[in-house]
Structure 1
Amino acid sequence: MEKVFDGKKAAKLGTVANPAVITVPTAERVKELESVFQENGWRYTIELAPDQPEDIKDLEILLNPLKTKVVDKRVGRNEPCPCGSGKKYKKCCGQ
């Protein structure tokens, strides 16, 4: 059986160990994106490929990082019901 997790943490995107890799069709677009990367201090590799479609997934990930989800606390069975009835949750809305 193969190991799925080797215990090593992946390097953060946009660093020396894991630079962002994007593909663009024109030299103008290369200059635009270089300025974005340099402005933010990210490491990158831009490939100029006129015959391939533009691929800027790594840049989109860097510009829009995932937000941490905050979960609201659940109402316990014996706590007052949040609807304001004054009854316990288990006797009111928690049936």
Structure 2
Amino acid sequence: MSKCFFKGRIETRLNHVISGYNVNRDVKAGTEEAPVSVVVKSEARKAEIEALVAEHGLVANVVVDETKEENTIELDTVLNKPKTTRFEKTPNRNDPCSCGSGKKYKKCCA
């Protein structure tokens, strides 16, 4: 019997496969298929947001509503994506040490 053999109801398995957190989204926020929604209080702020959206090449639905609180969380999230942190590789054991002593890494700082 193979590892992939499933014992049970097929429709239940399909439901479990479909559900879950999708980290590989096909539709990105800020495109025509999934525009970013922003609520602002004034027309001046709307013009400012539209200029910012056009500068970054995004698509947004900007709504002016004086009764509601300003909501730009989605736009801030799209604009301020965290960058990947890259660390410098540690030297191999037999490479010269990076501290400048002239010794091998394994004899100096390892």
State the TM-score, normalizing by the size of structure 1.
Answer: 0.68
Please point out which of 46, 56, 69 is paired with 1:53: 69
CA 1:32 to 1:87, structure 2 compared with 1: closer, same or farther past 3 Å? closer
How large is the Cα RMSD of the aligned pairs? 2.7
More relative contact order, 1 or 2 (CA 8 Å, 6+ apart): 1
* Alignment partners' CA distance in 1, 2:92 and 2:77: 38
Which of 1 and 2 has greater Rg?
A: 2
* Alignment partners' CA distance in 2, 1:33 and 1:88: 56
State the TM-score, normalizing by the size of structure 2.
Answer: 0.61
| Length, aligned pairs only | 93
Please point out which of 26, 29, 36 is paired with 1:20: 36
CA 1:36 to 1:77, structure 2 compared with 1: closer, same or farther past 3 Å? same
Match of 1:29 in 2: 45
Question: What letter is aligned with 1:4?
Answer: G
Which runs of 5 or more residues in structure 2 are unaligned? Answer: 1-15
CA 1:9 to 1:55, structure 2 compared with 1: closer, same or farther past 3 Å? same
Q: Deviations over 1:21-54 (max 9, x none)?
A: 1111123322332233345442111132323332
